[in-house]
Amino acid sequence: MSLNFQAKSFCTRFRLPEITSILVFAIASPLVTNSPVYAADIVDSFSTFISLEIKPQTQIAPEVMLIRQAIIGQESGANFQAVNRHSGALGYAQVMPENLPQWSKEALGFSVSRKDFLASPELQIAIVDFKLNQYWQKSIVASRGNVAIAIQRVAAWWYSGKPEKYTSTKTQYYAGHRYPSIAAYSQSILRRYQLILNAQNPSQPQRGV
């Protein structure tokens, strides 16, 4: 079944807090060639525009990129479709499902469903980077410029929602299942961060923390 459109070309602009997307649709153009327009083609084009136009307006701190890489190594091994069997945490950075609606709205200007989140690496990166950047900016101030402490605060925030607990050695539990302490998690992220940094700068291993 084909769909024939009589509408004129139009341009839609989304004004988002951290993302600017401009989607241009030339729906009338297929009528010139009398070629059928299929719904699947329109959906594919829409998805392509979405993925190409997810661009942060603000600069993401380079430390955030490294923290993200450290977290995904700890959380999911870079599996974008990972789902935690205990908590239901989603994706390669293990975002808690109850946080997804608000976080995606803050980062993108609209709420993203669980299904769409798991299906799109681009959406996951955009949302995760947005939140990690928020955490980093606050943590580097709270640590008075101490990078190592700031990284551990971000890790603790991501893991527990409590950045000030980055030194807590209390064993964590979720739904009756045992998890590492906040301190153990935070220190693990710091070590991964340093390993990634050193691998990128082998001649300058002292950089960063």
Residues 66 and 149 in one domain: yes
pLDDT in tens, 151-195: 999 999 999 999 999 999 999 998 899 999 999 999 999 999 999
Tell which residue, 163, 168, 191, 190, has the closest CA to residue 179.
168
In degrees, to the nearest 5, what angle opens at C-alpha 122 toward C-alphas 53 and 94?
Answer: 150
Residues 49 and 68 in one domain: no
pLDDT of residue 59: 79
pLDDT band at 18 (very low <50, low <70, confident <90, very high): very low
> What range does the domain containing 47 cover?
10-53
pTM: 0.69
Residues 74 and 19 in one domain: no
**CA distance linking residue 166 with residue 163, whole number of Å:** 6
| 163, part of any domain | yes
**pLDDT at residue 53 greater than cutoff 60:** no
**CA distance linking residue 30 with residue 19, whole number of Å:** 30
**CA distance linking residue 71 with residue 68, whole number of Å:** 5
Which DSSP state fits 85? Answer: T
Tell which residue, 79, 83, 69, 71, has the closest CA to residue 115.
83
The DSSP result for 141-165, as a single string, is HHTTT-HHHHHHHHHHHHHHS-GGG
SS3 call for 4: coil
How many domains does the structure of the chain reveal?
A: 2
Residues 113 and 79 in one domain: yes
